[in-house]
Structure 1
Amino acid sequence: MTADLRSIYTAATTEEAELCLGEFKARWDTEYLLIGQSWRRKWSRLAVLRLPSGNPQGHLHNQRH
């Protein structure tokens, strides 16, 4: 179940994440109905946060001075 959830929040696009959520609900709603319902209810807030992957050189994290 956690691997299926991970596919939602690591999706590259919102559309891909929605597809993964649909797959999660189809597979797990019989056992974990509230999880899928919660994701759907809060989707607009969850789908907004998309951080870029990787660690570009210009980021403060990589600066030494």
Structure 2
Amino acid sequence: MTNLREYNEIYKIAGPENVITFDDMRGKFGIFPEIEYSSDGVHFGPNGKRKFDEKILEKIG
């Protein structure tokens, strides 16, 4: 599971020109089949996590 803190770290690494927004992830990539909320932030569901990682790796290079 990817939490919001990890997501923010990825943003720092990827840089603003490579940022993927939540709207991008919902619309363009068709992920977030489920979202779990917890005390330390938002956790993406297992399918979303996998697809999110793939897209971030593409963006980072």
Judge same fold: TM > 0.5, yes or no. no
Larger radius of gyration: 1
Higher strand share: 2
Structure number with greater CO (CA < 8 Å, separation at least 6) is 2
